[in-house]
Structure 1
Amino acid sequence: MSSAVQEAAGVLTFEEFVAARGPALVRLARGLLRDPDTAEDVVQDVLAKALLKWGRVSAADDPVAYVNRMVVNACTSWWRRAARRERPVPAEELPEPSGAVPDAGGRLADRDQLLTALRALPVKQRTVLVLRYFEDVPDERIADLLDVTTGTVRSNAHRGLAALRGAVQR
Structure 2
Amino acid sequence: MKADEEAEFQQFVSGRWSHLVRTAYLLTGDRHDAEDLTQTALAKAYRSWRRVRRSDSPEAYVRRMLVTCNSDRFRKRRVQERLTAAPPETSAGDPATAWIDERNVLMSALATLPPRQRAVVVMRYWEDLPEGEVAQVLGCAPGTVKSQASKALAKLRVFPGLAQILDGSAVATMEQGASR
Superposition TM-score, scaled by structure 2 size:
0.77
Q: Quick check: 1:96 aligned with 2:96?
A: no
Shift of 1:101: 8.5
User: Which of 93, 118, 131 is the equivalent residue of 1:126?
Assistant: 118
C-alpha displacement of 1:24: 1.3
Give the deviation of 1:164 after TM superposition. Answer: 1.3
Larger RCO of the pair (alpha carbons < 8 Å, separation 6+) = 1
SS in 2 for 1:61: coil
Q: What's the C-alpha RMSD, in Å, of the aligned pairs? A: 2.4
**Structure 1, residues 109-135: CA drift from partner, whole Å, max 9, x if none?**
112111100111111111100011111
Whichever residue aligns with residue 136 of structure 2, its letter is: D
Q: What residue identity is the alignment partner of 1:22?
A: W
Q: CA deviation at 1:100?
A: 9.4
Q: 1:110-169 CA distances to partner (integer Å, 9 max, x unpaired)?
A: 121111001111111111000111111110011111121111101111221222121113
Which aligned pairs between 1:79-158 and structure 2 lie closer than 5 A? 79-83=74-78, 85-91=79-85, 95-96=88-89, 102-103=94-95, 106-158=98-150
The residue that corresponds to 1:7 in the other structure is: none
What is the rounded CA distance, in whole Å, between the counterparts of 2:92 and 2:55 in structure 1?
44
- Residue 47 of structure 1 aligns to which amino acid in structure 2? L
One-letter code aligned to 2:77: A
Gapped regions of structure 1 (runs ≥ 5): 1-9
- Is the contact between residue 83 and residue 108 of structure 2 (CA under 8 Å) also seen in structure 1? no
Taking the aligned partners of 1:32 and 1:21, their CA distance within structure 2 comes to 17
Would you say 1:38 and 2:56 are equivalent positions? no
Q: Distance in 2 between matches of 1:80 and 1:36?
A: 20
User: Identity percentage over the alignment?
Assistant: 39
Deviation string, structure 1 residues 35-84 (Cα, Å, up to 9, x no partner): 2211110111111221222222111222111111111100000011134x
Runs of 4+ in 1 over 3 A off after TM superposition: 94-97
| Aligned counterparts of 1:147 and 1:121: Cα–Cα separation in 2 | 19
Inter-partner Cα distance in structure 2 for 1:24 and 1:100? 32
TM-score, normalising length: structure 1: 0.81
Q: How many residues align?
A: 157
| Long gaps (5+) in structure 2 | 165-180
